Amino acid sequence: MRHSLVLLALGALASCHAADPVLEMPKPFQRGGVRVTLQEVYIANHIALGVRGVAENLGTETLKSCTVKLVVLDFHDLQVSDAVATRENFAPGEMWHFEAPFSSPYDDEFNSVVVDRINVTK
């Protein structure tokens, strides 16, 4: 079953280039004792490079590893890129500020960034 958290991008055109997307931040996504909040898509020269966010270990045990996998979808809900952030030794109550770079920088408009899954190893 696919769990998703969607960031909506409101696109606009400026000259010949797509304007940097204005994003509506979603509610936090929680799974496996980890809460993930996506904060922003980071951009350079109108090219989306990745996603910044915060994860919090809500459990009582240190996690050996935590991986957050994101999927970038276009306006037809087709995957155009993905991003992964991984952390080891994630202590209880700890806040992890992560950057998940896109596997391929995306220089066109996109509709959403979806949390595809959160994998934890105890």
pTM above 0.85, yes or no: no
pLDDT digits (tens, 9 = 90+) for 72-83: 888 888 888 899
Which tokens go with 101? 């770079």
Q: Strand, coil or helix: what is 94? A: coil
pLDDT tens over the chain, length 122 residues: 333 333 322 232 233 345 555 555 667 999 999 999 999 988 888 888 899 999 999 999 999 999 999 988 888 888 888 999 999 999 999 999 999 999 987 666 777 787 888 999 98
* CA proximity to 113, closest of 104, 97, 102: 102
User: DSSP for 53-69?
Assistant: EEEEE-SSS-EEEEEEE
